[in-house]
Amino acid sequence: MDIKQAKNIYCLGIGGIGVSALARILFAMGKNVSGSDIKESVITKSLEDLGMDVDIGPNPAKITPEPDLVIYSQDIPKDDLDFITSPKISQAQALGDLMVEKYGIGVTGTNGKSTTTALLGLILERANLDPTVLIGSTLSHKNESDKFQANARYGKGEYLVVESDEYHRKMLFNKPKMIIVTNVAEDHLDYYNDLSDIKSAFLEYAKSIGPEGILIFNADDHNTVDVCKHVACHKFTFGIHHYADLQAVNCKIGNREQIADLHYDDEMIGQIVLKVPGIFNMSNALGAILAAIKLGVEFDVIKQTLAEFNGLWRRFEEVGNHYLKPVISDYAHHPAGVELTIQAAREFFPNKKILVVFQPHHRNRTKALFGDFVEALVTADEIILPEIFDVTGREHGEDISSEQLVEELTKKGAKATYAKDLSQTEKLIKEKIKHFDLVLMMGAGDIDNLARKMVK
């Protein structure tokens, strides 16, 4: 069943960030969209508010009335899918089918995908190009518009901007004409064999655009450069530390802003201001800027969009205060992201003492990148490490615990404390917070729930 022809669509795992974005797009296209998820969430409630029927509970053995098409999250167990008699495709396949009808722009990389996708989508919206956009996070309410809500925007323009997920090689279902690569690093080692295997997946994706496609990539990341040098197409680079087609120079941080001059084709084109912290976000912005330039967007439109960008959900999100101390929630779960987020906190809050709370995500990742996590955390003022967040369906009995991270960090002179669960984590934060100026809480698991609870 072609997704364009299907009128009644049922989404399994509709509460997931990727499937929910797709559901929003299909609903805006006039489809009758319903679905199910194992638990109620802010996302499922927001879909119901739009008018979608959402069943909460175990995946249904039988869907009634029978839909024209079932779209499923790749987190759904295969045994549950075997009961489905309707035509079915994965969320990644469905996204690829939608992209055929548009000028597809895929944003991929180990880190920075969501921010880059959101920025490019917002730039194209301000340029009145009416894009369709799907991101793997949600916009700040301050950046939402009538058409761009939460994690998706449906438009009738020619551009479709999507966050292209590398896990399980899902991005290979996309059919883009332009690709942005933010960076390439070791991750998802429960699926990939090693870095070489990861690079081969990104290379296959980059080659999929063909010789007439446009490939935009990060000149500062050696793994990305190594991948992209093997691709024959129209290639353009962005960077900060290395020469690039679009380069940020004279980067400065002050008053909780980043400022940089931009050189494009060796000529100064103007200055940009970002209200989101971290040199990695400057890099993400460059990827979006370069793509927008190649699509013909005026620089003044780009500059204004960046100046008004307030970030994304769980991307250095200041969720509130606990006893007048700022609490920041961040999705960082990879060593590089953890290290850069701590650095960003120091830059935006200079001379402040930071209590870092990091919940490792996925035992396989923690074990495979153990040494990198230690190096990322060792310079923090003090660290609380809750037990590793177990990812349903992706754990394979690895013998690893946050306690081992604490032991290794302590050996290296860091001040680190283990917490067996989030309840104990909360107690430790309350005991220690009087000695700190802010709390930085990181992880892709349920640590965000605690961050929000503490500021109520």
Which of 160, 166, 120 is closest to 139 using CA atoms? 120
Q: What is the pLDDT of residue 393?
A: 62
Do 273 and 324 contact (CB within 8 A), yes or no?
no
Q: What is the pLDDT of residue 77?
A: 85
Cis peptide before 65 (omega within 30 of 0): yes
* Structure token digits, residue 209: 């655009």
* Structure token digits, residue 115: 């921010």
Which of 152, 12, 163, 165 is closest to 75 using CA atoms? 12
Helices 17-28 & 42-50, crossing angle to 10 degrees?
10
- What pairing do the DSSP bridges indicate for beta strands 103-108 and 132-134? unpaired
Alpha helices per DSSP H over 100-171: 113-126
Pick left, alpha or beta for residue 326 (phi over 0 → left; psi -120 to 50 → alpha; otherwise beta): beta
**What is the maximal distance between C-alpha atoms in the chain?**
62
**Looking at the whole model, is its pTM more than 0.85?**
yes
Distance of alpha carbon 315 from alpha carbon 311, whole angstroms: 7
Distance of alpha carbon 24 from alpha carbon 448, whole angstroms: 24
User: Going residue by residue through the chain (456 aa), what tens digit of pLDDT does each one get?
Assistant: 789 899 999 999 999 999 999 999 999 999 999 999 999 999 999 999 999 999 999 877 778 889 999 999 988 888 888 888 899 999 999 999 999 989 999 999 999 999 999 999 999 999 999 999 999 999 988 888 888 989 999 999 999 999 999 999 999 999 999 999 999 999 888 899 999 999 999 999 999 999 999 999 999 999 999 999 999 999 999 999 999 999 999 999 988 899 999 999 999 999 999 999 999 999 999 999 999 999 999 999 999 999 999 999 889 999 999 989 999 999 999 999 999 999 999 999 999 999 999 999 999 899 999 999 999 999 999 999 999 998 766 655 668 999 999 999 999 999 999 999 999 999 999 999 999 999 999 999 999 999 999 998
DSSP assignment of 302-332 equals HHHHHHH---BTTSSEEEEEETTEEEEEE--
Do 419 and 384 contact (CB within 8 A), yes or no?
yes
Which of 352, 310, 367 is closest to 436 using CA atoms? 352
Distance of alpha carbon 396 from alpha carbon 386, whole angstroms: 20
Q: Which amino acid is at 4?
A: K
408-430 CB burial, b ≥16 within 10 A, e <16: bbeeeebebbbbeebeebbebbe
Query: What is the length of the chain?
Result: 456
Distance of alpha carbon 386 from alpha carbon 58, whole angstroms: 28
Q: What is the pLDDT of residue 114?
A: 95
Enumerate domains of the chain plus CATH numbers.
8-89 (3.40.50.720), 102-308 (3.40.1190.10), 317-454 (3.90.190.20)
Q: What is the pLDDT of residue 397?
A: 60
Strand order in the sheet with 354-358: 317-322, 325-330, 438-442, 354-358, 382-386, 416-419
